[in-house]
């Protein structure tokens, strides 16, 4: 008799490629749409060996999944998964690095251009029929600007690389200076905010970076300053940002991420100096398909005994000796 297929739990509806690949190979359980998810968890939890998520996984959930071996996160950012706790329990966590780097970097550059040159505002101006009456007001410019990148990881470097072609100067801040990188390093975020005109947030979310961009950092960015966030809403003190935008102590903000997604404060939407996107950094057909394939490849590789392809740093893996 052949072995029963591993049982996998999907916390929400996943990309169709993930759903189809798992259906073909595993016994798949879903919590989405279930009337009593806790009862369902109590019933199937003891048999679950793989968990596929784009969201929160804490110790309480892991308690209900005593045979869990692998948590496959759909996305490069895994701040929702308690990876340190997973490591303590011998559970491997995987994410989807690299395949979305270029897409997110493109979007960040799009937000830079959209905020500096006020592209959505100009579009609205034209559609509202104002152009025949008066030209659109002159905007800020990228000429002679300095850009600070908070988090010069893979995506941060891809953004910097693109921005070099615009002739801007690049600075960065992170936990440590990067070897072999010629951009100016600041060991303090507030010092970098003071030095640059545009601050791009692209560092990981989580407790270590919560509200790093606070009122003093925004004040340091100054009245010509533009804040771009393509990372996580948790890195920015949203109330302080709203206050700074309302008071004009910074010029504009371009945001793809928010503190409480998918809910966006009405104050941000009411402002004319914001460009707001519904967390679409990686949301192209091409890139979401590549992310889905990497999730599938990680899970198949694990259950075929070949180990994870892209484990996160907290749960390193090496083949059994
Ligand atoms: C999301 C992202 O994961 O990769 C990340 O960290 O923020 C996004 O790509 C995406 O929304 C998947 O649901």
pLDDT per position as a tens digit, 182-204: 999 999 999 999 999 999 999 99
Residue 154 Cβ < 6 Å to ligand 1: no
Best residue among 74, 94, 203 to mutate for probing ligand 1's pocket (most ligand atoms within 8 Å of CB) is 74
Q: Please determine, for residue 1, whether its predicted confidence score (pLDDT) is greater than 50.
A: no
- The pLDDT tens digits of the residues spanning 95-119 come to 999 999 999 999 999 999 999 999 9
CA atoms within 13 A on the CB side of 130: 11
Report the C-alpha gap between 135 and 132 in whole angstroms: 7
Best residue among 52, 206, 281 to mutate for probing ligand 1's pocket (most ligand atoms within 8 Å of CB) is 281
Q: What is the mean pLDDT of residues 129-133?
A: 98
Structure token pair of residue 73 = 């996160």
Cis peptide before 262 (omega within 30 of 0): yes
Judge whether 237 and 215 are in contact, CB under 8 Å. Answer: yes
CA 147 / ligand 1 centre spacing (Å): 24
What confidence score (pLDDT) does residue 3 get? 82
Residue 100 Cβ < 6 Å to ligand 1: yes
The residue assigned the tokens 């004040």 is 219
| Degrees, nearest 5: CA angle 229-231-237 | 60
Confidence of residue 320 (pLDDT cuts 50, 70, 90): confident
Q: Please determine, for residue 319, whether its predicted confidence score (pLDDT) is greater than 90.
A: no
CA 311 / ligand 1 centre spacing (Å): 16
Residue 205 Cβ < 6 Å to ligand 1: no
Residue 75 Cβ < 6 Å to ligand 1: yes
What confidence score (pLDDT) does residue 2 get? 66
User: What single-letter DSSP state applies at residue 106?
Assistant: H
Pairing of strands 184-186, 198-201: unpaired
How many Cβ atoms from other residues are within 10 Å of residue 20's Cβ?
A: 13
Closest Cα partner for 200 from 244, 155, 240? 155
Average pLDDT score, the chain? 97
Confidence of residue 224 (pLDDT cuts 50, 70, 90): very high
Which residue's alpha carbon is nearest to atom 10 within ligand 1? Answer: 75
Share of the chain above pLDDT 90, in %: 97
pTM above 0.85, yes or no: yes
Judge whether 155 and 202 are in contact, CB under 8 Å. Answer: yes
The residue assigned the tokens 């996305």 is 75
- The pLDDT tens digits of the residues spanning 235-255 come to 999 999 999 999 999 999 999
Best residue among 55, 100, 201 to mutate for probing ligand 1's pocket (most ligand atoms within 8 Å of CB) is 100
Confidence of residue 321 (pLDDT cuts 50, 70, 90): confident
Residue 77 Cβ < 6 Å to ligand 1: yes
Which residues does the annotation mark as catalytic? 232, 261, 279
User: What single-letter DSSP state applies at residue 266?
Assistant: H
Residue 54 Cβ < 6 Å to ligand 1: yes
Judge whether 255 and 275 are in contact, CB under 8 Å. Answer: yes
Residue 76 Cβ < 6 Å to ligand 1: yes
Judge whether 302 and 69 are in contact, CB under 8 Å. Answer: yes
CA 317 / ligand 1 centre spacing (Å): 23
CA 170 / ligand 1 centre spacing (Å): 26
Q: Which of ligand 1's atoms lies nearest the C-alpha of 279?
A: 11
The residue assigned the tokens 């011998």 is 90
Structure token pair of residue 105 = 């970097």
CA 80 / ligand 1 centre spacing (Å): 11
Confidence of residue 17 (pLDDT cuts 50, 70, 90): very high
Query: Which residues, at least 6 apart from 245, have a Cβ–Cβ distance to it below 8 Å?
Result: 252, 253, 268, 271, 273, 274
Query: Which residues, at least 6 apart from 71, have a Cβ–Cβ distance to it below 8 Å?
Result: 50, 51, 52, 53, 57, 81, 86, 91, 92, 93, 94
CA 137 / ligand 1 centre spacing (Å): 36
Judge whether 148 and 186 are in contact, CB under 8 Å. Answer: yes
Report the C-alpha gap between 235 and 202 in whole angstroms: 9
């Amino acid at each position: 008799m052949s072995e029963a297929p591993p049982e996998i739990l999907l916390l929400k509806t996943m990309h169709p490629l993930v759903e189809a690949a798992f259906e073909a190979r595993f016994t798949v359980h879903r919590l989405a749409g279930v009337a009593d998810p806790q009862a369902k968890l109590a019933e199937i939890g003891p048999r679950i060996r793989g968990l596929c998520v784009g969201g929160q996984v804490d110790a309480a959930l892991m308690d209900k999944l005593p045979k869990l071996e692998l948590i496959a996160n759909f996305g490069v950012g895994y701040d929702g998964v308690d990876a340190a706790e997973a490591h303590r329990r011998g559970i491997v966590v995987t994410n989807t690095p690299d395949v979305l780097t270029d897409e997110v970097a493109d979007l960040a550059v799009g937000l830079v251009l959209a905020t500096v040159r006020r592209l959505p505002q100009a579009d609205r101006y034209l559609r509202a029929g104002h152009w025949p009456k008066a030209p659109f007001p002159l905007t800020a410019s990228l000429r002679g600007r300095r850009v600070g990148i908070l988090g010069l990881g893979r995506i941060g470097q891809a953004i910097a690389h693109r921005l070099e072609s615009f002739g801007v100067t690049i600075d960065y801040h992170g936990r440590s200076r990067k070897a072999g990188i010629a951009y100016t390093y600041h060991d303090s975020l507030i010092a970098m905010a003071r030095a640059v005109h545009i601050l791009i947030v692209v560092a990981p979310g989580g407790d270590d970076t919560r509200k790093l961009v606070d009122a003093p950092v925004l004040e340091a960015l100054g009245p010509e300053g533009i804040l771009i966030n393509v990372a996580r809403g948790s890195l920015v003190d949203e109330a302080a940002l709203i206050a700074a935008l309302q008071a004009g102590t910074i010029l504009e903000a371009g945001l793809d991420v928010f503190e409480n997604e998918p809910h966006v404060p009405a104050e941000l939407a009411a402002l004319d100096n914001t460009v707001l996107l519904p967390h679409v950094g990686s949301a192209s057909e091409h890139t979401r398909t590549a992310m889905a394939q990497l999730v599938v490849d990680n899970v198949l590789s694990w259950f075929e005994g070949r180990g994870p392809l892209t484990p996160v740093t907290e749960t390193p893996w090496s083949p059994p000796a």
